[in-house]
Amino acid sequence: MRWRWTAAAVAAALLLAAVAAAQPPNGVIRPSNESSLHPLELGAQLFAGNCASCHGSGGRGVTGPAQRAAGGTRGQGPPLTGAGAMAADFYLRTGYMPLGNPKNQPEPDRKLWNPREIHALTAYVASLGHGEPIPHPDPAAGSVGEGQQLFTEHCAGCHQVAGQGGVVTGARVPPIEHVAPVEIAEAVRTGPFLMPAFSKQQITDRELNSIIAYVRSLGAHDQGGWGIGRVGPIPEGMVTWFIAAIALVALCVLLGERLKRT
């Protein structure tokens, strides 16, 4: 009888997955003739439908009502006229934008656009003014050692020395271990939310390659065995109590009971 339950459970899971996949990603508006539009035209339409409520028509920003959005931004959202392709690409491909509520810290959990749409929106935002283009980092050209030094110096104070994220006044700092190289490069140059933007004088492109090489190498240095999150004492304490202490108490009980029986 067991296989029937298993089969029923599998069928139910498949059904749920199918339902989830069939639903359109909610929260965004798309033109019905999306596939026939020129990228720039598609970008303009998507922007008007999904971004202009905060960033203003033509990306000129929305100054009133007199309230502050997350991170101290004035009005609903900042103007994007000088933002450029780099910033647009970063916010869209990470899922930081579109933002559910302008008062919240952006979280990388709303990946609502497909690559063609991201390309179209990025092209549109780039056409609004003179901004930075999308960078092309080459972590293979960097040195992991130099990257560790630079990362400790510039990044570890907020992102934790092994890239596991942390807390600063006013924001939660995301873990970055699994972030794609281009997104790291974009974040360093753009300075999203509370993060400072680093100029090419502060961190050269070559140094940036090293930093990315270091971040991408983080998973490779667990010589000690199971890495337990690479944040140090907190998971170590959990292992102490939830694995070691429980095992040792169990051993005590076992030895104590054995004696009673004999």
Query: What's the closest the beta carbon of residue 74 comes to another protein, in angstroms?
Result: 23
Nearer to another protein, 95 or 165 (CB): 165
- Give me the least distance between CB of 13 and another protein, in Å please: 26
- Would you tell me which residues interact with another protein (CB under 8 A)? 107, 144-145, 147-149, 152-153, 156-162, 164-168, 172-173, 175, 214, 217-218, 221-228, 230-234, 236-237, 239-241, 243-245, 247-249, 251-260
Query: Contacts from 115-121 at CB under 8 Å and sequence distance 24+?
Result: 116/39, 116/42, 117/30, 117/34, 117/42, 117/46, 118/89, 118/92, 118/93, 119/39, 120/37, 120/39, 120/40, 120/42, 120/43, 120/46, 121/43, 121/46, 121/47, 121/51, 121/88, 121/92
Instruction: Give me the least distance between CB of 190 and another protein, in Å please.
Output: 20
Q: Whole-number minimum distance, CB 183 to another protein, in Å?
A: 19
Residue type, 54: C
Nearest CB to another protein, comparing residues 22 and 220: 220
**Cβ proximity to another protein, 35 vs 262, nearer residue:** 262
Q: Of 3 and 109, which has the nearer Cβ to another protein? A: 109
| Cβ distance to another protein smaller for residue 133 or 236 | 236
Q: CA separation (Å) from 223 to 101, 198, 229?
A: 43, 32, 13
Q: Residue 142 burial (CB < 10 Å; 0-12/13-18/19+)?
A: buried
Nearest-approach distance from CB 194 to another protein, in angstroms: 13
